[in-house]
A = this chain, B = another copy of it.
Amino acid sequence: MKIGELAERTGVAPRLVRYYEQQGLLSAPRAANGYRDYGEEHVERVRRVAGLVQAGLPTRVVKVLLEMEDAAAMARPTCPRQVAELLTSELGGIEDRIACLTRSRDTIRDVLARTEHAALLSERAARTAAPA
């Protein structure tokens, strides 16, 4: 598929897809005419990249993170010492973020449930349970 379709399916602007590619987060096979030519696997990949970037990770970190996810699929993953150290230190930051966001999520749910807007919450739950 071409970049336009990929963008539509991921909700990520073509501009950003190219940017991520430039940052080395994305491979981009080319068709004979020079157009980028993506496959299904790229849809997942782009979603994942965008998700991590939106979660506040710099592209530089996302890069090693994803390289590592690729490695994790292997039976006997290898990982240079230096990368392992970077990941170990990032791990703390990631856990902090999770804790911070989790707390906010719980607070939001709690407040919505306890105010007169509980309906919004159940509407949303209904939507996510049966996504169109």
Contact = CB atoms under 8 A, between A and B. Distances in A.
Contacts of A72: 107, 110-111, 114
A69 interface: yes
A88 B54 contact: no
Interface string A93-108: 1111111111011011
B100 A87 contact: no
Contact of A115 (B48, B53, B84): B84
23 contacts: A48-B100, A51-B96, A52-B100, A52-B104, A53-B56, A54-B96, A55-B56, A55-B97, A56-B56, A65-B108, A72-B114, A76-B114, A77-B114, A77-B115, A78-B115, A79-B112, A79-B115, A84-B117, A84-B120, A88-B112, A88-B124, A98-B98, A98-B101
Interface of A: 48, 51-56, 65, 68-69, 71-72, 76-79, 81, 84-85, 87-88, 90-102, 104-105, 107-112, 114-115, 117, 120-121, 124, 128
Contacts of A68: 107-108, 111
A119 to B, nearest CB: 9
Contacts of A79: 111-112, 115, 117
